[in-house]
Amino acid sequence: MQNLTPLSAQFVAHFGEMGSRWGINRTVGQIYALIFVSEKPLNADEIADALEFSRSNVSIGLKELQSWRLVKLRHIAGDRREYFEAPQDVWEIFKNLAEERRRREIDPTLSMLRAAMLETPGNEADQYAQSRMKQMHELIELSSTWFDDVQRLSPETLARLMRMGSSVKTVLDMTDKLKSVGRRKAAGDE
């Protein structure tokens, strides 16, 4: 790799290797890694040059990264070329990625399952199959609306929640107790 320090080269190579596990390809992984660690935005030629990929390959890779919202297009005054950079805030990156994955990997399944819920099972086996699909549907629905909610929290709140770890349970229990007291004060049990 042209011009890369060992530190960056290692990072780029790792992203290349992991790319396929992450559902992007080697090239795309490397391009992203390069952009991520670069202080200033890069143009396609710089990337092709640094990674020794063909210009067209870089073009396709950048399209792919844009579709994942992993890179942002930037224009630099007095330069016609398109420059790319990764968002500064890693939380933003995380959220974009999660959203995009959800859109591609989860939502289609959710609608398939919703449709399956509406069918009338034809026999005993079908009835079981549908009940399994229902369980899956509920789990996915729950976790994805939860994700929606959490996503709306500020990075600070989110980080706070995470640092809290499993002690959320204690808080949850505490809240329950308070709520039940409130309920008892206000009216009878439901």
Q: Which residues bind DNA (CB under 7 A)?
A: 20, 25-28, 43-45, 52-57, 59-60, 62-63, 79-82
CB of 123 to its own copies, least distance (A): 7
Angle (deg, nearest 10), helices 26-37 and 44-51: 110
3-state secondary structure 105-118: HHHHHHHHHHHHHH
Q: Give exposure, 34-60, as e/b (b: 16+ Cβ within 10 Å).
A: bbbebeebbbbebbbbbbebeeebbee
User: Whole-angstrom Cα distance, residue 37 to residue 6?
Assistant: 13
H/E stretch holding 36 reads helix 26-37
Query: Whose Cβ is closer to DNA: residue 51's or residue 113's?
Result: 51
CB of 53 to its own copies, least distance (A): 20
Query: Whose Cβ is closer to DNA: residue 45's or residue 89's?
Result: 45
Residues in the chain: 190
Q: Which of residues 35-54 bind its own copies (CB under 8 A)?
A: 36-39
Interface with its own copies (CB under 8 A), residue from 74, 153, 180, 184? 153
Q: Which residues, listed in sequence order, are joined to residue 83 by a DSSP beta bridge? A: 43, 74
Q: Which of its own copies, DNA, none sits in contact with 153, Cβ below 5 to 8 A by type?
A: its own copies
Query: Whose Cβ is closer to its own copies: residue 73's or residue 164's?
Result: 164
Q: Counting contacts by CB under 8 A, is residue 76 touching its own copies?
A: no
Check if the beta carbon of residue 2 is closer than 8 Å to that of residue 50: yes
Which amino acid, residue 187?
Answer: A
Structure tokens that stand for 96 in this block: 């974009």
Query: Whose Cβ is closer to its own copies: residue 55's or residue 160's?
Result: 160
Provide the binding-site residues for its own copies, judged by CB under 8 A: 5-8, 10-11, 14, 18, 21-23, 36-39, 90-91, 94, 104-105, 108-109, 112, 115-116, 119, 121-123, 125-126, 128-130, 132-133, 135-136, 138-139, 142-143, 145-146, 148-150, 152-153, 157, 159-166, 168-169, 171-172, 174-175
